[in-house]
Amino acid sequence: MLEFKILKKSKNSNARLGVLKTSHGVVETPVLVTVATQAVVKTLTSEEVKQAKSQLLIANTFHLHLKPGEKIVKSFGGLHKFMNWDRPLMTDSGGFQVFSLGFGSDHGVGKIFKRDANIRPIRQAQGRPEQVEGRMYANDTNKKIISKGQQPRNVKITSDGVFFNSPVDGRKIFLGPKESMKIQQALGADIIFAFDECTSPLADYEYTKKSLVKTHRWAKICLENKPTKQALFGITQGGKFKDLRIESAKFIGSLPFDGFGIGGEFGGDKDTMIKMIGWTIKELPSDMPRHLLGIGHLEDIPKIIKSGVDTFDCIVPTHYARHGYAFTSEGRLDISKAKFLNDKKPLDKKCGCFVCQNYSRGYITHLLKAKEITPLKLLTFHNLYFFNSYIEKLRNDIKEGRL
RNA sequence: GCGCAGGUGGCGGAGUGGUCAAUCGCAACAGACUGUAAAUCUGUCGCCCUUGUGGCUACGGGGGUUCGAAUCCCUCCCUGCGCA
């Protein structure tokens, strides 16, 4: 089961230092939850993930349901044993995939709404290039607003859940709150999430409001079907609308969840995002853990911690690693650039990770240009270690009254 | 030495008498990616500028035919293959 203890509350901000106790050990918070969608931190072994100082991972219900299927995972004794990870583990509910395979895919938008986003063609859910029917700028909100009753092209959202075709074999799949609970029970993570609908930045007020009713109803169904041995976090939504954010936080916060996730889109700029998180957190029970879903660029981290977030997951350290980026004390470096070929220095001379102790930028650049797979591992390890060390320092800052 | 094939932008490779600065790919360069596809997407990519339905320069070298040539002819140089 789950126990959350707040060790210290900051006097300078809403930041808090805490400890999350699970049957697989203790997590010091605030913490970045390392993303292991398909029961793996891409390119790393579970041993390496530990060495990179990750305390807690999050895998995904949607992905694991499709491949290999929760029955297989359960037959191995659950996710922990399946992936040889004996530390705490979360699973996401699959709700986000409704958005990312649906409207997110249709309109080429993420949950952060970039004004200067590149033009992106409309693509099909499975990621295969499709005939481009039209192009849009992500800031063409006037042309592409999602209003009440509208459906994404590849996903059917009903009041009970979501129908979609499996990106794996095309078969029709239904996922709703009950199904999500059942799958997450079989997967066996310590902390699981309620099944929600993550609304698009392009959703209008009416759509978002209606969606919220659905998410709230689903939250109750999740609680009714809650697995006994796992902690369940509810998820608040509300889009960019303050009254809906508050309404959602009040409602979800009043339910007997073990913790709370903050989901959805977060506006167009960082200030708005922080504001939106603030609206939500203010309404949540103060002594319960709060998880921010899917946010964590390096520059966001101090802000979200100061907002009172305890745990947050983000693909940035690992995903950017596979695109050739290293996060360092000098900033984000695109190590794939030719200028690094002659660079004998480590990725970050201030970093203590084994990559920085043993390998040069030039070598990693060479490997990237040679399209080898090892540099992706080296960068992933470094980035994780870097992020985890960074947050370790922030925890210390809270402890010593600096944050 | 003879025969055959060929020499186009950093590379590969289209184009065979007329909108040809020249499809396309790679490389390069500049970006994007926030509940993760190592997928992908967006620019730039001969030179110049007042950045535009702008100007200038190119198709191994030289010469020729033609109103017009990367495209046809001659010659030279170079590369590959085959034969001596």
ipTM of the complex: 0.87
Secondary structure (DSSP) of A199-263: --TTB-HHHHHHHHHHHHHHHHHHHHT--TTSEEEEEE--TT-HHHHHHHHHHHHHS--SEEEE-
* Per-residue pLDDT at A152: 83
- Among A298, A318, A336, smallest CA distance to A384 is for A318
A167 CB neighbours strand B below 7 A: yes
Kindly give, in sequence order, each residue whose CB lies less than 8 Å from that of residue A73, ignoring residues fewer than 6 positions away. Answer: A39, A64, A79, A82, A186, A187, A188
Neighbours of A371 (CB within 10 A): 7
* CA-closest candidate to residue A310, choices A283, A288, A291: A291
Q: Which residue is nearest to nucleotide B31 (CA to C1')?
A: A118
* pLDDT, averaged in runs of 10, over chain A (403 residues): 96 97 97 98 98 98 94 97 98 88 79 52 27 28 69 85 83 93 98 94 92 96 97 96 96 98 86 93 97 95 97 97 96 94 95 97 95 96 98 98 93
Distance A336 CA to B59 C1' (A): 34
A122-CA/B24-C1' distance, Å = 24
- A313 is known as an active-site residue: yes
Q: What is the pLDDT, as a whole number, of residue A135?
A: 26
Q: How far is the CA of A343 from the C1' of B12 (A)?
A: 30
pLDDT for the residue numbered A265: 84
Nucleotides of B under 7 A from a protein CB: 27-43
| d(CA A133, C1' B52) / Å | 30
Query: Cβ within 7 Å of strand B: which of A 182-221?
Result: 193, 196, 198
Is A160 an active-site residue?
A: no
Does the C-beta of A115 come within 7 A of strand B?
no
Which tokens hold the place of A356? 């920085």
Sketch out chain A's domains with CATH numbers.
3-93+178-314 (3.20.20.105), 321-383 (no CATH)
Spanning CA of A142 to C1' of B69, the rounded length in angstroms is: 54
Is the CB of A366 within 7 Å of strand B? no
Q: Which residue in A50, A32, A4 sits closest to A381, CA to CA?
A: A50
- Any strand B atom closer than 7 Å to A114 CB: yes
Which nucleotide, over all strands, has the C1' atom closest to the CA of A324?
B38
A58 touches strand B (CB under 7 A): yes
Q: Which residue has the tokens 């709703």?
A: A176
How confident is the model at residue A114, as a pLDDT? Answer: 65
Asked if strand B comes closer than 7 Å to A303 Cβ, the answer is no
Residue-level pLDDT at A97: 85
pLDDT at site A170? 79
Residues of A (321-360) placing their beta carbon closer than 7 angstroms to any atom of strand B are: 322-323, 325, 334, 336-339
Contact A367, A374 (CB under 8 A): yes
A96 touches strand B (CB under 7 A): yes
